[in-house]
Homo-oligomer: A and B are copies of this chain.
């Protein structure tokens, strides 16, 4: 596996474009298109929020089909927009399909931005000519920027890898996973590859990789109405099939998606730190996950990280209410390799070394429950003044 500079443009067989459709603001890229040269297998993971946005409903219906395009708009989430919002998504994807000479059912759509407002569908259709005309492989570089909302930098990762069937490339991009001003947050993530993988294998591999990457990060615990992650792989009568090749593919995908997950946390709203929470020796993996999630989402733990406070009491308390089995006398907490709590007893540590750890941009916390062999890892950020500012100072 070789890590490449750049992103989507490294993958042969795809073209891209982005335009300023003035959906909400003037003079910003807000509407973009990803078009594979051949029909693709697609897998998708979508928000489980019952208030799912119109484009999410559309994607859920179409994700089983071969896919000819993904169209994405920023600045308007097309959420809480009822039948009209859903019809707008159908009209827009229908028009794109007509221009690409593909089936409407093969076009996916994603939206992010303000909720409760109808898309300016007519204005958007006016831009479709330019959107299709500008399609090029080189424009892969602009997609990460076109999907941004409060992200402070565009995010893309790509790698190449060799299989028994030749060399392939995989690339991904994503936008902000903090719930985002102005109105509504969203994690949007797109992965493309020229490696052919069957729909069945793609589903299994994508789901398990999302689980340990995008689903292992948490910023504020709020789940958007629009969260979507999609992977495209060319339909081919001869997909990668050997266990070795699929494992190589999976490792490459994991690298790309881990990279994206870490970029999202680094760019979390107001975040100054990235902290890996490892929970080990839980009674079960499920228990470990519960404890890791409770610690990662605890506002008190996250403000303590911001304040460089080695507050293992808050970590222990969050584990204690997580629903996981936790026993005081078997609980150990470490900041990197410094034990602050050992089997329920405060550790005898060097205060300066501990402050060195807490002052780092990235560090890990290990919570050893001492009860079994279950384990889980989550990546979290701190909560700073800027998080409050970003999420409070906007007025709808």
- Most B CB atoms within 10 A — which of A183, A316, A392? A392
Known: A51-B320, A327-B50. A313 touches B388 (CB 8 A): no
Considering only residues 260-282 of chain A, those with a C-beta below 8 Å from chain B are none
A346 within 8 A of B: yes
Q: Is the CB of B307 within 8 A of A394?
A: yes
- B117, B223, B298, B394: which contacts A309 (Cβ < 8 A)? B394
**Residues from chain B with Cβ under 8 Å of A389 in the complex:** 385
Q: Is the CB of B396 within 8 A of A179?
A: no
A310 within 8 A of B: yes
CB A225 to nearest CB in B, in angstroms, measures 5
Q: Is the CB of B51 within 8 A of A326?
A: yes
Q: Is the CB of A50 within 8 A of B313?
A: no
- Most B CB atoms within 10 A — which of A114, A184, A326? A184
**Residues from chain B with Cβ under 8 Å of A300 in the complex:** 179, 185, 220, 222, 391
Question: Residue-by-residue, is A66-82 near B (CB-CB < 8 Å gives 1, otherwise 0)?
Answer: 00000000000101101
Considering only residues 218-242 of chain A, those with a C-beta below 8 Å from chain B are 220-225
A interface size (C-beta, 8 A): 65
**Residues from chain B with Cβ under 8 Å of A383 in the complex:** 299, 388
> In the complex the two chains form, what is the Cα distance from A115 to B314 in whole Å?
9
> In the complex the two chains form, what is the Cα distance from A221 to B294 in whole Å?
10
> In the complex the two chains form, what is the Cα distance from A329 to B83 in whole Å?
9
A254 within 8 A of B: no
Q: Is the CB of B79 within 8 A of A321?
A: no
A161 within 8 A of B: no
- B299, B306, B393: which contacts A299 (Cβ < 8 A)? B299
Question: A303: nearest residue on chain B (CB-CB)?
Answer: B391
Q: Is the CB of A80 within 8 A of B303?
A: no
A345 within 8 A of B: yes
A341 within 8 A of B: yes
**Residues from chain B with Cβ under 8 Å of A313 in the complex:** 77, 79-80, 114-116, 183-184, 225
**Residues from chain B with Cβ under 8 Å of A310 in the complex:** 396
Q: Is the CB of A393 within 8 A of B307?
A: yes
**Residues from chain B with Cβ under 8 Å of A306 in the complex:** 388, 392
A49 within 8 A of B: yes
- B321, B331, B388: which contacts A49 (Cβ < 8 A)? B321
Question: A391: nearest residue on chain B (CB-CB)?
Answer: B303
A48 within 8 A of B: yes
Q: Is the CB of A317 within 8 A of B391?
A: no
A163 within 8 A of B: no
Q: Is the CB of B385 within 8 A of A222?
A: no
